[in-house]
Amino acid sequence: MPVAIGVTTIMNFDLSPELLDLQQRTRTFIAQQIIPMENDVRCTPHGPTEELRRELIDKGRAAGLLSSHMSVEMGGLGLNHVAKAILFEEAGYSPLGPVALNIHAPDEGNMHLLEEVGSHEQKERWLRPLAAGLIRSCFCMTEPSPGAGADPSMLQTSAVRDGDDYVINGVKWFITGARGASFAIIMAKLEDGSATMFLADMDQPGIIVERLMNSLDSCFPGGHGVIRFDNLRVPAKDILGAAGEGFRYAQVRLSPARLTHCMRWLGGARRAHDVATQYASQRQAFGKTLGQHEGVGFQLADNEMDLHITRLSIWHCASVLDKGHLGKHESSVAKVISSEAIWRVVDRSVQILGGQGVTDDTIVARIFADVRAFRIYDGPSEVHRWSIAKNILRPFKPARV
């Protein structure tokens, strides 16, 4: 009989005293320093302004929690994936938390990739100020039709060698953080058809941020933009890693970054559930509190179970990554479980809150709008299910017809 796919690992669910301390420090920081800023007028439809971002970063730095996923050498705490799961969930309890701790997308994933693949010169030039929260970045891979979306092999943006440079042309969209980013990681196709990542400062001639895209979410600094590369010249020395290895490096970035999305949104879903629970314990209807009605109490119970299942899937994938595995299958499983369970939790919370759930009287409507896209970005649920199914079937030989 074929064996089960994936990586089997035995997990200890007890948090060490160090992790419990980190969890509490982060929880207290978010509650006391960040949640009071959620109604700041500098929270815009395209994310917090640069001025607000810098204020939030200053708070995270003062708390000693900035860029926790980075190595100590780069100013971080050197957390492994399991430890990140603890801190990132607490950070995600507020839409502003990941920004304050410099662990928001796409910067968090870009930092991880640069630390893994970048040269010493590239790390000093781009990674160090990014990890310090002094600048922002963007990751340019997604393209409008007929270019690369869920299928990266459809990449259209081209990079043609010209002496010591490459000349890049193409259009990218849904690029998170594009407006105000200091540099970009650009995925482009070489003349031989292979994909390569390039690093480029955003103020260069040939990079045009054409527009911001109005979207449901409002938590990402810089929003989501459309970028055009018009004969952008990038020196060959600014290739990230090796030429032709772009798709492989994308997996180095995407599996951990996919999981950190799950971690952060788990915190947001827990916040929505907590708000709904408090409301259900106090609001009276038909002679008793809402929570005492089975229709509401069962929704709270379902929320609790979805949060628990999500956390377990995240912790399992994190432990697989900590053992040095790429975790493609496990991160796909965690992504689908998390994005869909988290959506259910937030949606139920809106329903329990009734009118307050669809207004800005509580944070839940904002989380609801922010979290919907999670089932799409970093691979839609359908693509991950397809990948999971292929892994399940791989050990079995197709039946003969």
Residues 126 and 159 both lie in one domain = no
> What's the rounded mean pLDDT across residues 338-349?
98
Q: What is the pLDDT of residues 92-148, one digit of tens each?
A: 999 999 999 999 999 999 999 999 999 999 999 999 999 999 999 999 999 999 988
> What's the rounded mean pLDDT across residues 37-41?
97
Sequence letter at residue 12: N
Predicted pLDDT at 179: 96
Strands (E), 250-369: 284-285, 288-289
| Conformation bin of residue 201: beta by default, left when phi > 0, alpha when psi is -120 to 50 | beta
Number of structural domains (the chain) is 3
Predicted pLDDT at 151: 85
Q: What's 143's DSSP letter?
A: -
Give 251's pLDDT tier (boundaries 50, 70, 90).
confident
Residues 202 and 316 both lie in one domain = no
Residues 92 and 36 both lie in one domain = yes
> What's the rounded mean pLDDT across residues 354-361?
94
Q: Which stretch of 121-125, 183-187, 229-233, 373-377 has the lowest confidence by average pLDDT?
A: 373-377
150 three-state secondary structure: coil
What CATH number corresponds to the domain at position 28?
A: 1.10.540.10
Max Cα-Cα span within the chain: 79
d(CA 165, CA 386): 39
Q: What is the pLDDT of residues 55-93, one digit of tens each?
A: 999 999 999 999 999 999 999 999 999 999 999 999 999
Mean pLDDT of the chain: 94
> What's the rounded mean pLDDT across residues 309-331?
94
Residues 381 and 306 both lie in one domain = yes
Using the predicted structure, report yes or no on whether residue 218 has a pLDDT greater than 70. yes
Last residue within a domain, chosen from 72, 100, 131: 131
What CATH number corresponds to the domain at position 269?
A: 1.20.140.10
Residues 95 and 65 both lie in one domain = yes
Closest CA to 94 of 25, 31, 24, 28: 31
Residues 180 and 237 both lie in one domain = yes
> What's the rounded mean pLDDT across residues 365-391?
95
**Domain span including residue 379:** 247-393
Residues 25 and 94 both lie in one domain = yes
Give 1's pLDDT tier (boundaries 50, 70, 90).
very low
**Strand 224-235 and strand 195-201: pairing?**
unpaired
Tokens for 124, please give them.
């000093």
> What's the rounded mean pLDDT across residues 159-178?
97
Using the predicted structure, report yes or no on whether residue 353 has a pLDDT greater than 90. yes
246 three-state secondary structure: helix
Long-range contacts of 3-8 (CB under 8 A, 24+ apart): 3/395, 5/329, 5/391, 5/392, 5/394, 5/395, 6/329, 6/330, 6/333, 6/391, 7/320, 7/323, 7/325, 7/327, 7/329, 7/330
Predicted pLDDT at 401: 59
What CATH number corresponds to the domain at position 141?
A: 2.40.110.10
Residues 296 and 378 both lie in one domain = yes
Q: pLDDT over 90 for what percent of the chain?
A: 89
Using the predicted structure, report yes or no on whether residue 149 has a pLDDT greater than 90. no
Residues 217 and 287 both lie in one domain = no
Q: Which stretch of 6-10, 54-58, 199-203, 353-357 has the lowest confidence by average pLDDT?
A: 6-10
Residues 284 and 219 both lie in one domain = no
Residue 149 domain-assigned? yes
Predicted pLDDT at 6: 57
Predicted pLDDT at 8: 58
Residues 237 and 252 both lie in one domain = no
Give 217's pLDDT tier (boundaries 50, 70, 90).
very high
How buried is residue 64: exposed, middle or buried, by Cβ count under 10 Å (0-12/13-18/19+)?
Answer: exposed
| H or E element in which residue 225 lies | strand 224-235
> What's the rounded mean pLDDT across residues 178-183?
97
Last residue within a domain, chosen from 131, 161, 179: 131
Residues 212 and 280 both lie in one domain = no
Using the predicted structure, report yes or no on whether residue 5 has a pLDDT greater than 70. no
